[in-house]
Amino acid sequence: MFILGFESSCDETSAAVVEEVGGRLFVRSNIVASQIPVHRLYGGVVPEIASRAHVEVISRITGEALSGAGIALSDVGLIAVTDHPGLIGALLVAVNFAKGLASANGIPLVGVDHIRGHIAASYLAGEGPVPEPPFLALALSGGHTSIYRVHGYTEWETVGSTRDDAIGEAFDKIGRLIGLEYPAGAAFDKLAAEGFREATGTDAPSLARYEASPAGRDPTMKLPSPALPGDTLDFSFSGLKTAAINLLHHLEQTGGELPRALFAARYTALSVGAVTKKIGMALDRYPGLPVVAAGGVAANSHLRRELTALAARRGVGLFIPPLPLCGDNAAMIAAQGYHEYLAGNLRDSSLNASASDD
């Protein structure tokens, strides 16, 4: 079966074709029209501009997704669209487009939770190993920082989450203050790599090695951990963000020079360290479960390295999508859409978009 997926929850418009063959999912096309250059002028996403830009490209990229997969609309057996959470005006564009296509052509329709979509990106490994529930999932994006216990393809339980800011939005905010363009994640990652190298004399060192180095222990760059203390699997990124802003202001006011790379390394070490710590605690609670990491921040090279080491130490499987499937894309929505379809969660033209998580 061919599944046509749509995604327009934030600043990427995407249409993709995923083919299911004997229960395995293969990406046949995945067109992503990014609006980032437009929003970059404003230092963040402008919702009105996002909605308009989605409207302008959705029809064209749908054609590209179908022709890229070498199929016609009449070959499509299922349409899947992100219906929540996200920017409401942005979500509505793909939801309405998908509803129109589905009802005009008699194609079954499902709505997909964006975060479940991110996690389903791991099902798109083609012939490679793919995770099967139950597993632990880590959703790290611009708007989410959560740990889920995934019982089945459509059954989940949130076991940890941020109580305030998300890891990605905090990277973007602090990145902007140190002169990195929106969205700062990828440039932050590179700058931190320079800092880790400077601190340890090694490329890609472990966090433990960095933390033992003089720069890793430098008290003038002390920042709080976003891992909340105690037994909880929750995070708080606003404390780290505020302390980092204060540190930057203090340096500015006292005329001190900011060691940008070392600062990026320290900030990254705290963010990545907190996520690794909490997923380690989740594995203590639910031993033996494989781990799936997903979302834009799962592209972070330092996080990927630490999670890989943790999974090897604990002897559990780890699944992280390749970089193009970490950020927002419609192939991941089609993948989760397939499982919503199997679970019987078909929708009709009453499907509506919702900004919130549920």
Residue ranges in contact with ligand KG4 by CB under 6 A: 10, 118, 141-143, 168-169, 171-172, 183-186, 188-189, 295-297, 299-300, 327-328
- Pick from 321, 329, 279: nearest CA to 300: 321
Q: Of 1 and 32, which has the nearer Cβ to ligand KG4?
A: 32
User: Which amino acid would we find at residue 209?
Assistant: R
Position 165 contacts Zn ion (CB under 5 A): no
* 200 contacts 213 by C-beta, under 8 angstroms: yes
Q: What is d(CA 168, CA 23) in angstroms, rounded to the nearest whole number?
A: 33
Q: What is d(CA 169, CA 249) in angstroms, rounded to the nearest whole number?
A: 19
Position 141 contacts Zn ion (CB under 5 A): yes
Q: Provide the angle, in degrees to the nearest 10, between the axes of the packed helices 185-200 and 167-177.
A: 70
Least distance between ligand KG4 and beta carbon 325 (Å): 10
Least distance between ligand KG4 and beta carbon 30 (Å): 14
Least distance between Zn ion and beta carbon 160 (Å): 18
Q: Of 11 and 20, which has the nearer Cβ to ligand KG4?
A: 11
Q: Of 65 and 184, which has the nearer Cβ to ligand KG4?
A: 184
Q: Of 165 and 328, which has the nearer Cβ to Zn ion?
A: 328
Number of residues binding to Zn ion, judged by CB under 5 A: 2
Q: Is 229 exposed, middle or buried (0-12, 13-18, 19+ CB in 10 A)?
A: exposed
Among positions 222-281, residues that touch Zn ion (CB under 5 A) are: none
Position 7 contacts Zn ion (CB under 5 A): no
Least distance between ligand KG4 and beta carbon 171 (Å): 5
For the chain, the farthest-separated pair of C-alpha atoms sits apart, in whole angstroms, at: 67
Pairing of the two strands 12-21 and 24-34: antiparallel
Position 83 contacts Zn ion (CB under 5 A): no
Order the strands of the 145-152 sheet from edge to edge: 155-161, 145-152, 135-140, 291-294, 318-319
Q: Of 127 and 203, which has the nearer Cβ to ligand KG4?
A: 203
Least distance between Zn ion and beta carbon 118 (Å): 6
Tell me which residues touch Zn ion (CB under 5 A): 141, 328
